[in-house]
Amino acid sequence: MNQEMEYGNDYRFIPATSIRSGIGTEVLPDLLCYTVQIVNICLVGSPDTEDFVLVDAGMPGSANEIISVTEERYGVNSRPKAIILTHGHFDHVGGVIELVKHWGVPVYAHSMEMPFLTGQKSYPEPDPTVEGGMVAKMSPMFPNEPIDLRNNAQSLPSDGTIPHMPGFRWIHTPGHAPGHISLFREKDRALIAGDAFVTVKQEYLYKVFTQEQEISGPPRYLTTDWKAAKQSVIKLAALKPAAAITGHGLPMSGELLTTSLEKLVNEFDQIAVPEYGKYVN
């Protein structure tokens, strides 16, 4: 089944980290958030079962670390049933090819992300001129060429269900990426938001390093459609999530999450949208 999968030509290790790197937080008994350098992955499924999935696949070069974290939680030689991607940016697919080879599991993403996962289309260039800090300035080094998962990548079912994630549904939350999705579980109102919004000002290297918790719109240097991004945040706030794991920053829950999301919706143009940048109109 496996034709040769490959990363883009610009795939490379990114030397950025945070004090949370290597730390896992159990947000719920069946929901682990683990930080790889500056990005979060999730393991969804209770540790006493074999039915679990990995959401997102970390930074370039992180596959072995992700395998270790998985085996620590679910046992030696355990493997998820699938890998679900919130979107295909380099910091969410960094280890995916090695993981697919090691585990032999399918990868699911929104159909609109498929071109970026099957070698057909590059993401737009990151914008180093966007209003923001050092991470924005260093963004030209970030890979934006598509990876090619060949036939290991599949589109999510169009009915909103997510394979191997009973109780969860995917919600299309474009703006940061065309096929960006968030994952929501009605029962306990748990949300995996990807980069639709994040809880750290991802443009600022020192805030990323210290992981200072602060609601923020999607990372600016890679967001190309701010109108859609705003609608996506409105959509997620309306779900009234009780706990959220975002692609970057600490998990947030309860009253702080409610008030922070309200604030982000009401002040989106001030908080999230940059003053200037090539994707701001």
Binding site for Zn ion (CB under 5 A): 89, 91, 195, 247
Residue indicated by tokens 């409610």: 258
Phi-psi region of 20 (alpha: psi -120 to 50; beta: other; left: phi over 0): alpha
- Which residue, 101 or 206, is less far from Zn ion as judged by CB? 206
Considering the complex, what minimum distance in angstroms separates the CB of residue 232 from Zn ion?
A: 13
Considering the complex, what minimum distance in angstroms separates the CB of residue 202 from Zn ion?
A: 7
Considering the complex, what minimum distance in angstroms separates the CB of residue 34 from Zn ion?
A: 14
* Sheet arrangement for strand 24-28: 24-28, 31-36, 39-44, 53-55, 83-84, 107-109, 153-155
Considering the complex, what minimum distance in angstroms separates the CB of residue 39 from Zn ion?
A: 5
- Which residue, 195 or 225, is less far from Zn ion as judged by CB? 195
- Which residue, 195 or 203, is less far from Zn ion as judged by CB? 195
- Which residue, 30 or 177, is less far from Zn ion as judged by CB? 177
- Which residue, 104 or 140, is less far from Zn ion as judged by CB? 140
Residue among 179, 49, 173 nearest 111 (CA): 179
Considering the complex, what minimum distance in angstroms separates the CB of residue 56 from Zn ion?
A: 8
Mention every residue, 6+ apart, whose C-beta is less than 8 A from residue 31. 42, 43, 44, 190, 243, 245
256-to-25, 158, 235, 262, 263 alpha-carbon distances in Å? 17, 33, 18, 10, 10
Q: Closest CB to Zn ion belongs to which residue?
A: 89
Dist CA 193 CA 233 (whole Å): 9
Considering the complex, what minimum distance in angstroms separates the CB of residue 105 from Zn ion?
A: 22
- Which residue, 91 or 203, is less far from Zn ion as judged by CB? 91
Dist CA 39 CA 57 (whole Å): 9
User: How wide is the angle at C-alpha 179 spanned by C-alphas 203 and 138, nearest 5°?
Assistant: 25
Q: Residue 233 has which token pair? A: 């945040």
Considering the complex, what minimum distance in angstroms separates the CB of residue 69 from Zn ion?
A: 18
- Which residue, 146 or 247, is less far from Zn ion as judged by CB? 247
Dist CA 144 CA 140 (whole Å): 9
